[in-house]
Every structure is written in C-alpha cells, then in structure tokens.
C-alpha cells in the first residue's frame, strides 16, 4: 500500500531509454497530482540475454519481469514501451494510462550523414525488427539487412565503429537516450509503417488499484493516443501476430475528429505485401472511443486477412521459429 507520505514506487527496466521514459512519466504524474514517485530499477531477461529477439519470442521478455513485480506488490506501477507489450491483456493488470505519444516514426542513423536513398548498393543496415526489414527491403532490395541486438547505444556504436553503414531505430527512443543528432533520415509512415503503438508509453498497475489508491494515474492518460494505439494494436491482435511480426500500423486522429488507420503486412524478404487503410468516426473524448477504435482495427484486419495477410504473418512466424535454437 502507498501511504500519503511514502513516494509511489515505479518499476522500470534499467536501460537508459527505459529509465528516461519512466522518469518522464513520473515527472508528469507528480506535476499533475503532486504525488511523489521513486523509480525502482528491475532487470528483465531480455536485458541480459544475448539471444536474438526473434529467438526469444519477441519483446515480451522485457515485460515479464516488470509484471512479476507488479503482481508481487514490490512496485506500485510500471512504465513500458507500449510496442513491447503483448496485445493479450495480462491477468489482474490494466493499462491505467497511455500518455500522449512521442514521434512514432522509424529513423535511419547512417555513416557520413547519408540519407536512405543515398546508401550505396550493398550497404549494410542493422535492425532487429522483421517489420523494418520487410518494409525497407521492399523499398531498397539492393541493401544488406543485418540482424542486431542490444540497446540503442550499442546499435549506434556499430555505425561509429564502421561495422555497419547504418542502423534503423525508433525516433522516440533516440530522443529519449539523447542521440537524436545521430539521425540522418526519418521514414514517413507512407514509406515504413511503425510498429503498432510505437512512440507510446503504457502505465500498468494491478486492476483493483487503478480504480482505488492509484486512480491518480488516469491524470496522464491521453484520449487521442489511447484511441490511436488501440486501433493499431487491435490489427496486430486480430492477425494473431506477435510483437516481432512484420506488421506495421499507424492511426491518426483527423481534423474532423475521425480516426484514419493504415496497416501493412509485408513478407520479410519484401516480396509480398498487403496494405490497407480505413477511417471511422471516432471521437477520442467520447466514452465509446476505445470500442470504436477496436472496431476499426478489427474491420481493417479482416479486410487484410481476406487479402492473404494472415498467410504472410504465418510464414514469417515459421521463419522466426526456424531461427530459434
């Protein structure tokens, strides 16, 4: 139980990006509610293993350790990168707040200030994301895509050391670790659709506490972000795809209050793709906004499945299974 005097305990992974984003959320909560918060660093299996992400079954590994501490009551709430959260809800836990998202786009960090179009044929591009490889290979099949692991600093080091010509990372993550100056190009969603929920954070706590002593977490929820990421993640869920699947999705609240959702499923070799877009009248401030966003995501996913998207997802998952020891 958190007393009025004792600071609330916020569970966070130890990486620079995780602690920075947790501190961002903690400061926002304190600014809006006056509640003092202290960060409790937690080590996840994903942080200590050298295995490739696809061999670990996706980014769920980063999440499990934080959720164990929430269930045990050793921390009061946790901050995750939303895109790392499995779409299936966790028993006894709830996303009490989804703060306003940062820039969701993917970014290129290349040597010599090079833009994507200027990379020479055969240039090496490092990424651990099948979603990025699939979409980049469709744009530039003449480049060599190299699987990489590690935090943002480790990945950027492969470019400065000359091991790779470029790496691709999320713009939001680069901002949070103070490395936005390494960005040499940014991919618009029309070129490379981000991961569902990319750039957004999620504040998670035990369900019964969200409506009780942790009710103040709702103070940092951002309705337009919640509607957008709900639509994006519903596409992923409906496709029965994991966080490591070659699925991109991005939703935007339109000026007229509608919600425009775009999604793509692209074969990891860039040869086959299903891309669709659909809009719906979703007012983020309306009580039914989340349900309407789910309906939009479900409808778009079913349209994509009818065009063969599930077969591309299944092939990619089989390929990833084949890569796991």
What are the catalytic residues?
83-84, 131-132, 149, 155, 243
Q: Does 99 bind ligand PBG (CB under 6 A)?
A: no
SS3 category, 86: coil
Is position 203 an interface residue for ligand PBG (rule: CB under 6 A)? no
Residue where the block lists tokens 């007229």:
256
- List, in sequence order, every residue forming a beta bridge with 217; answer none if it has no partner: none
Q: Is the dihedral of CA 64, 125, 184, 271 positive or negative?
A: negative
Report strand pairing: 144-146 vs 124-126. parallel
Q: Which of residues 261-320 bind ligand PBG (CB under 6 A)?
A: none
Among 82, 72, 77, 83, residue whose Cα is nearest residue 96: 77
Q: What would the two tokens of residue 172 be? A: 């939001």
**Residue 183 or 314 with smaller CB distance to ligand PBG:** 183
Binding segment (CB under 6 A) for ligand PBG, from list 34-42, 135-143, 167-175, 300-308:
167-175
Written as one string, the DSSP assignment of 36-92 is -EEEEEE--HHHH--S-GGGGTSTHHHHHHHHHHHHHTSSSEEEEEGGGS-SSPPTT
Q: The tokens of 51 are what?
A: 């295995």
State the sign of the Cα–Cα–Cα–Cα dihedral 86, 89, 92, 97.
positive
How big is the CA angle at 45 (ends 43 and 46), to the nearest 5 degrees? 100
Of 59 and 230, the one with the shorter C-beta distance to ligand PBG is 59
Cβ proximity to ligand PBG, 43 vs 74, nearer residue: 43
Please give the residues from 25 up to 84 whose contact with ligand PBG meets the rule CB under 6 A: 59, 81, 83-84
Chosen residue from 110, 169, 217, 247 binding ligand PBG by CB under 6 A: 169
Q: How far is the CB of 171 from ligand PBG (least distance, A)?
A: 8
Q: Which is nearer to ligand PBG, 164 or 169 (CB)?
A: 169
Q: Which of 15, 22, 198, 268 binds ligand PBG (CB under 6 A)?
A: 198
Q: Does position 214 bind ligand PBG by CB under 6 A?
A: no
At its nearest, how many Å lie between ligand PBG and the CB of residue 104? 7
> What does the alpha-carbon distance between residue 112 and residue 122 come to, in Å, rounded to a whole number?
16
Six token digits for residue 150: 């590690």
CB within 8 Å of 36: residues ≥ 6 apart:
7, 8, 30
170 binds ligand PBG (CB under 6 A): yes
Of the candidate spans 85-93, 169-177, 252-260, 283-291, the one that interacts with ligand PBG by CB under 6 A turns out to be 169-177
As beta bridge partners, residue 249 has: 263
Among residues 25, 28, 110, 172, the one that binds ligand PBG under rule CB under 6 A: 172
Residue 83 or 158 with smaller CB distance to ligand PBG? 83
Binding interface with ligand PBG (CB under 6 A): 59, 81, 83-84, 169-170, 172-173, 198-199
């Amino acid at each position: 139980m958190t007393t009025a005097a004792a600071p609330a305990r916020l569970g966070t992974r130890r990486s620079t990006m995780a602690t920075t984003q947790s501190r961002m959320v903690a400061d926002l909560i304190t600014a809006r509610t006056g509640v003092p918060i202290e960060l409790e660093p937690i080590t996840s299996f994903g942080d200590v293993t050298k295995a490739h992400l696809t061999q670990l079954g996706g980014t769920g590994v980063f999440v499990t350790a934080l959720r164990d501490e929430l269930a045990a009551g050793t921390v009061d709430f946790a901050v995750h990168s939303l895109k790392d959260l499995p779409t299936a809800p966790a028993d006894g836990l709830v996303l009490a707040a989804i703060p306003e998202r940062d820039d969701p786009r993917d970014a290129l960090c290349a040597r010599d200030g090079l833009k994507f179009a200027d990379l020479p044929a055969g240039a090496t591009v490092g990424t651990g994301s099948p979603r990025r490889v699939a979409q980049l290979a469709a744009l530039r099949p003449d480049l060599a895509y190299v699987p990489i692991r590690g935090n943002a600093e480790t990945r950027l080091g492969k470019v400065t050391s000359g091991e790779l010509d470029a790496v691709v990372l999320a713009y939001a993550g680069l901002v949070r670790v103070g490395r936005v100056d390494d960005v040499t190009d940014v991919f618009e969603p029309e070129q490379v659709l981000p991961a569902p929920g990319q750039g957004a954070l999620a504040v998670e706590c035990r369900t019964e506490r969200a409506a009780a002593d942790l009710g103040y977490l709702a103070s940092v929820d951002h309705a337009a972000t919640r509607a957008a990421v709900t639509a994006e993640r519903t596409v992923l869920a409906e496709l029965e795809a994991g966080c490591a699947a070659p699925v991109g999705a991005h939703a935007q609240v339109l000026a007229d209050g509608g919600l425009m959702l775009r999604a793509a499923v692209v074969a990891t070799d860039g040869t086959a793709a299903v891309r669709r877009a659909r809009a719906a009248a979703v007012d983020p401030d309306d009580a039914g906004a989340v349900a309407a966003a789910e309906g939009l995501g479900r409808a778009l996913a079913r349209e994509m499945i009818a065009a063969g998207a599930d077969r591309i997802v299944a092939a990619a998952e089989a390929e990833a299974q084949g890569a796991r020891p």
